[in-house]
Amino acid sequence: MLSMRLVEQPAPAGSRDVDQLVSWLLDTLEFVRRSGDDWTGEGVHSPIHRILCEYMLKQPGQGWDAQTLGDELGLSPTAIQYQLGKLNECGLTAAVNRDGWRVHHLRNGSLSNAVEMMANEARLVLEQRLRMLEGWMKESDLRMNIPSEKKDEGQFQIQIRGRAPLLEGQDELDAFLLDLGLLGDRVRRPADGSPPLGRLMFEHLLNAHTPLSLDEALDQWGTTRPRLTRTLDRFRAAGLVERIPRIDRLPVTLWSALHSQHDRRGSDWLMKKGGLSRIDEKVAKKIIKALDGGTFNVESCEKIFVSVEPKEQMVLLNLLGGKLPIGWRLCGAKSGQVCEKVLAKADRTFRRIKRVAETLEKAIQVD
């Protein structure tokens, strides 16, 4: 059954070094998971790196069993079998039985063919898994009222795994979240048997009409901010969720910042250093008049700023020392729109893998 991870990496532009290209490929498929850059000694590569470089890529039409590779690399057949199993699961290699041994080889006799087959199969599995959103996600045009931020492009990271039979006590949504890696590597299930935090938050986003902020999440689930942020960022990395400024809360945030600075520093400071001089003079005078008269509230703030662009309001808020809350929401009003965005990011990563595979084959032929 297909099981792989995709982690988007910057394309190795111009590089024709075989070791660098293979390392990029392994990093993109997250075969070698590491926490820092100094993960190997000088010139020492992981076993899976050596299997590809020294055997499968140099002789793509041949096959090897775990015993032979273990003798060559100085590792036990069990350790080699584990590495070969990861290559088989992602779809780069396959295995056939020969004289009682499992012989492993690149699919269809070349890296470019193997990558093409892997990409097609993985995309199909991902598309089929994402179709499940149609039955769970509530359509809402109101959800997309706030424009998306074009710069909110984090590193794409997703797990793609075919559906397996459900475990006891598991439903389709649990399997979906696990197959796409949305619950993390270590799923923390509460002692009382209630659903994990990731599921609760994802269910909320499926039915929400407005973005979810950290403050709202804290009130609802009562855990720590870092844990909530990690959960939401996993959804965002997979392309299902996007992060946006809570422009709908601008009036409240501006009112609080203006009121606070007026009480501390007065009207003159607001007009000169507080940023009111950057907006229309009539609007600024209305604000000062309301503040001095004690009639400045959230409703009047919203009415006064109705003619000011949201970007200008955010600049003013920044000058006042305020901070606009960030919200998370599903990246589409309908399930089809969410699926398209996730698949587009996966396709972009697969295109890079195909280009690197072709470059690798040319570099090996030259050597």
Secondary structure (DSSP) of 37-80: S--S-TT---HHHHHIIIIITTSTT--B-HHHHHHHHT--HHHH
Q: Could you give the angle at which helices 77-90 and 66-73 cross, rounded to 10 degrees?
A: 120
Return the residue matching tokens 């960030």: 326
Tokens 């002789």 label which residue? 59
Structural tokens at position 277: 């001089």
What torsion, rounded to 10 degrees, do the Cα atoms 45, 47, 48, 52 define?
80
For the chain, how far is it from start to end, CA to CA, in angstroms? Answer: 35
Considering just the CA atoms, what is the radius of gyration of the chain in Å?
27
Residue 44: per-residue pLDDT: 59
CA atoms within 13 A of residue 203's CA, in its CB half-sphere: 11
The two tokens of residue 39 are 């993960």
Look up residue 129 and give its two tokens.
């898994």
Question: Where are the alpha helices (H) located in the chain, listed in sequence order?
Answer: 18-28, 47-51, 66-73, 77-90, 111-130, 133-136, 172-179, 197-207, 214-221, 225-237, 250-272, 281-293, 298-304, 310-319, 335-366
- pLDDT at residue 34, as a whole number: 56
Rounded CA separation 60/105 (Å): 7
Say how far apart CA 71 and CA 178 lie, in whole Å.
37
Per DSSP, the three-state class of 182 is: coil
Residues of the chain with confidence (pLDDT) below 70: 33-44, 150-152, 188, 191, 367
pLDDT given at position 322: 84
- Residue pair 144/209 in contact by the 8 Å Cβ criterion: no
- 192 by Cβ neighbours in 10 Å (0-12 / 13-18 / 19+) ranks as exposed
Name the residue with tokens 């090897």: 64
Instruction: State the DSSP string of 69-86.
Output: HHHHHT--HHHHHHHHHH
pLDDT value, residue 259: 87
The domains found in the chain, sorted by start residue, are: 3-122+347-366 (1.10.10.10), 138-165+176-246+326-333 (1.10.10), 249-319 (no CATH)
Determine the Cα–Cα distance for residues 132 and 179; give it in Å rounded to an integer. 12
pLDDT of residue 292: 87
pTM: 0.86
